Structure formats: structure tokens, C-alpha cells
Chain A
Amino acid sequence: MKLNGLFQRTVLPDLERAMDLRAVRQRTYASNLANVSTPGYERKEARFVDELREAERQVRLRATDPRHFGVASPRPEVEIRPARDIGGEPDVDLDNEMVAIARNKLEFDLAARIAILKIAGLRSSIHGRR
């Protein structure tokens, strides 16, 4: 969804962003579980791109020029990285991964539910009734 004049000042873009993260995260965890027996597989995690910038130790950009990161950045995307690189657990543990999946699902459901209610509320205010 592009940032659009009508909805950009509602919480809907944030909710969509939250759901985007959980969707990518879900398939990342699925990948980890599918490869629990694969030798040499690197466990992966998903984060927002702007959070990654802080998590990775190597990259330190000083914003001394408008062309650098951090100035009018586009809508943050989600990236998948090896967990080892961003301070996560490097090995796949079945139980931990399942807990992560369960939590992730709840977080997704929460955002979805709020979005549903919000949209219903907007619809009501358009039609002038509650």
C-alpha cells in the first residue's frame, strides 16, 4: 500500500506494516523448522530494515550528506538475515521455534483484528451512523 492522502494519518499503514513483518517472520520460522535436520543451514530471522541498521555491528553510517540513509527513507521493508548476524539464536531449536511461531501468530491476529475494527469504524463514520 502506498502512503495515500486519505489513510496516511490513520493507524492503518502501521497496522499493515505490523502484519507485513509477521507474515515474513512466519515463513522465516517455517524455513528454519523445515531445515532443522539440514546440515550447514543458517537459522534466519526477520526484522524491519531500520532495526537491522542498529543490530548489525559493522555498518556505521554518519549522516553527513543528504544522500545517506535515514533521510526521507521509503516505507520500511522487512529483511531476512542470518540470526547469527543480528544477535539471534544461531541454531534451530524445535521448541523455541514453535513458541516463536505461536507468538508471531498472536501478534498478527491482534493487528488484523484492530484493522478490522478500525475499518468498520471508518465505514460507520462515512455513513454517519454508529
Chain B
Amino acid sequence: MAKDMFVSMSVSASGMSAQRKRMETIAENIANADATRSADGGPYQRKETTFRSVEVERSRNESRPEHQVALHRTSPAHLQPKNVRPSSESISKVEAVEVQAQEDLFDLVYEPGHPDADEDGFVRTPNINTVTQMVDMIAATRAYEANLSAMKAYQAMVEKSLEI
């Protein structure tokens, strides 16, 4: 795997990208909130965004196992080696994937005159609460902007370093 000199920037960029996907998914849900008929038949199925973290390699400034001094147990008062914490953790980028929602996809609305009504007069409509989606959209926007500001802060720090 190619190493990355400006890891922090890649991490923040991945955050922005992931939140943007989330925003797109929400926009799609809102646009299709009333779609009782979709391309593959049936009402529109609500979508969601799943996030997962992806570890990145450590860099030179961080402690590594070979920097740790080996413990020699010379006294029973000392801890077992397994009690000693492992060394430095990694930081992580993030990936977002748009997926189909699994539960509560549809609502049933009684509307006998509707072209998509079934024999009992009910229409299956997407279970999308526009208000909920908008709240989620705001949260995604804030998260996107936070990642952007993190990237800008890092950029300024690098530029400062170049003045040395």
C-alpha cells in the first residue's frame, strides 16, 4: 500500500466524501418520498448510509513496538506482560456505502382511487419522514463542514512548517 505523506488530509477528505454520500442519499430519499411506483416496480425503497472505518499506517513520529523496552520480570510484584497495553493505535479513514434500508420500508395509505391502490384500496408508499430526513441532512452538513475545517487547519499547519 502506498504511503501517504499528508495522511491527515486524506483522512479529512474521506470524512468529507462520506458525509457527502450521506447527503446524496438523503436527497434521494426526500425526492422520492411519494414515489409509489419505481423503475423496477413497487414503491421506492428507502435508502440509508453505512459507515465503516479503514485503518491507515502509522508514521515516523509515533511510537512503535520496537521502540518499547522489553520488560524483564525480576520481581513477583511486577505485572504480567499481558497486562501491559499494546503500543500506539492507528488512525482511520472512513468509507460510506449507500444501502437499502432493511426494515419498515413501506406505509399503507388508504386511497381507493389511487392508480397504485391494491384490491383493498390501500397504496404502499415509501416510509420516509421528510422531517427526519432533513434533520439528518443538517447533521450530515455539519459533519461535512467539520471535516473541511479540520483539513484547512492541517493545511495551514503544513504551510507554517514550510516557513521554518
Contact = CB atoms under 8 A, between A and B. Distances in A.
B77 interface: yes
Contacts of A11: none
Interface in B63-97: 63, 67, 69, 71-72, 74-75, 77-79, 83-85, 87-94, 96
A44 B91 contact: yes
Most buried by B among A22, A33, A77: A33
Contacts of B157: 22-23, 26, 105, 108-109
Interface string B21-41: 010000000000000000000
B105 interface: no
Nearest to B49: A37
Contacts of B51: 35, 37-39
Interface of B: 7-8, 11-12, 14-15, 18-19, 22, 49, 51-53, 61-63, 67, 69, 71-72, 74-75, 77-79, 83-85, 87-94, 96, 142-143, 146-147, 149-151, 153-154, 156-157, 160-161, 163-164
Given A37-B49, A58-B85, A112-B164, 10 more contacts: A23-B61, A37-B51, A38-B51, A41-B53, A44-B91, A58-B83, A68-B72, A80-B88, A101-B150, A105-B153
